[in-house]
Amino acid sequence: MKLKTLLHITVFGAALLWAGWAGAVPIVDSDDWSGTYFKGHKMGFNHSRVEVGKRAIEVHTKMYFRLQSGKIDQSTIFTQDTTLNPDLSLKRFVLLQEIMGKRQEIVGQVEGNQLILEIVGRGFHKKKSIDFPKGIYPSATVWLNIMKEGFEIGKQGTLKLLIEPFQLVMPMTYQILRKETIQHDGRNVDTFVVQQKFAGMTTTLWTNAAGDVLREHSKQGFESIKESEQVATQLGDRPMSVSSFITLSLVKVKQPITASDDLGVLKLKLSNVHSPKSIPQDHRQKVLKTEKQGEESYTTTLLINREPKAPVKRVPLPVPAGEYRDFLKEAPEIQVKHPLIRTLAKDLVEGEKDAWQAAKTISTWVFDNLDKVLVDSFTALDALHDRRGECQSHTNLFTALARAVGIPTRVVNGLVYSNHFKGFLYHAWPEVWVGEWRALDPTLGQHQVDATHIKLSVGNYAGALKLMEFIGQVRIELLDQ
């Protein structure tokens, strides 16, 4: 469940900081390869190439991840070409993301203090601009900025990063911790140990004095090791299965939950939480207590209830959106204006006047018409064409259909208990505004989400990034059932 987020957010988020650039300052031409591992299992490779010119620096990065669901190839590729000015500021980038043959391209061009973006995918082509003052650097090339400052024990800094796939700007801090001798490629190598913190995720890397990143490790279990091209691209005959990948990201509990989809109330304790304000609250989910556990680590006690059976009052369709009108807009993954989406949405709720009844009708249709398989897609339109997918596919399609008929809808990210895996899996589900926010789950066929739905964040982009602080770290202790 939530496969694309685990890959696209966790893996890509970690890999943003993994580019093992060769050469020392001043920056010179280089070509580097590294293998990518998840909890000891090799699942892909990274490639970075730097070409230094008189007026610009060209950087090419490629990340390849190989997964398989049954007999279905789930290979995922992120390719980015970035053009930098000599001071490492951004001029232009082209990011191509490919999952199972589906493609999405993002092109960014700096013009003055604006970044002009063009996003092209299946059924979606849009231009927009965001504020882009000086001092913001692409995440795909951030290691060059750290190299430029040099390696000195105790040196630390903060860099504002453009997260290219999400068109967001976020801070990253780094610190040169110490010197350490490690084994690499059969020999002892003197290295500097650098710690980076980004979106609640901490990574540690080992670099030699020339700036070659030999190894990087994240708490989530991802590791990058500098290798030759031949070794890095050698992935073996057996690709990592999607179910294995999901199982390794499972949050286990000591005692299984029986009949979780019928559970009305759940009290639990989340440990290794990044901050006292990490866990959101709403009408269904209440924080009872938060205790400091260690440095940047907290334990939060939660009481979670099943969604009530019906809203307090009836709201007409389309919903008077008011302050929630932003939750009616289209997005690259949610093609609200596409004719196929709009026609289907209109047909599904024809004659319906009650917004909550319309939301339930749409949810039932998505549940009945999409096969539940561990394959992913970029967008709502992909899910509609393929008629299969996991939770993100179901949630994107529901969100597009609901917004198309005038129901404000947002994407929620979190955890849900799996009876099959006997633990909590990362999951996505929608919430609709029908006079109040209500959660339902078209993947599981629930009009009232059960009490094991733990909300961790809201939103396709910022919300998904926020998951990085939980994946591979959070622990769950059940207190009452």
* pLDDT of 172 above 70: yes
Residue 105: the pLDDT is: 96
> What does the pLDDT read at residue 23?
34
| pLDDT at site 295 | 80
User: Cα separation of 225 and 25, whole Å?
Assistant: 22
Per-residue pLDDT tens for 447-473? 999 999 999 999 988 888 888 889 888
Least confident segment among 19-23, 146-150, 161-165 = 19-23
* CATH class of the domain at 251-480: alpha beta
Both tokens of 66, joined, read 């190989």
pLDDT tens, residue by residue, 341-393: 999 999 999 999 999 999 999 999 999 999 988 777 779 999 999 998 889 99
Instruction: Give ∠ CA 443-98-61 in degrees, rounded to 5.
Output: 130
User: Is residue 149 predicted with pLDDT exceeding 90?
Assistant: no
Residue 326: partners with Cβ closer than 8 Å, 6 or more residues away? none
Start-end of CATH 3.10.620.30 domains in the chain: 251-480
Q: Give the pair of three-digit tokens for residue 432.
A: 């609709």
> Do residues 471 and 39 lie in contact, with contact meaning Cβ atoms separated by under 8 Å?
no
The pLDDT value recorded for residue 4 is 55
Half-sphere exposure of 386 (CA within 13 A, CB side): 23
* Per-residue pLDDT tens digits for 352-366: 999 999 999 999 999
Alpha helices per DSSP H over 160-267 = 229-232, 242-248
Report whether 124 contacts 131 (CB < 8 A).
no
Mean pLDDT of 119-144: 93
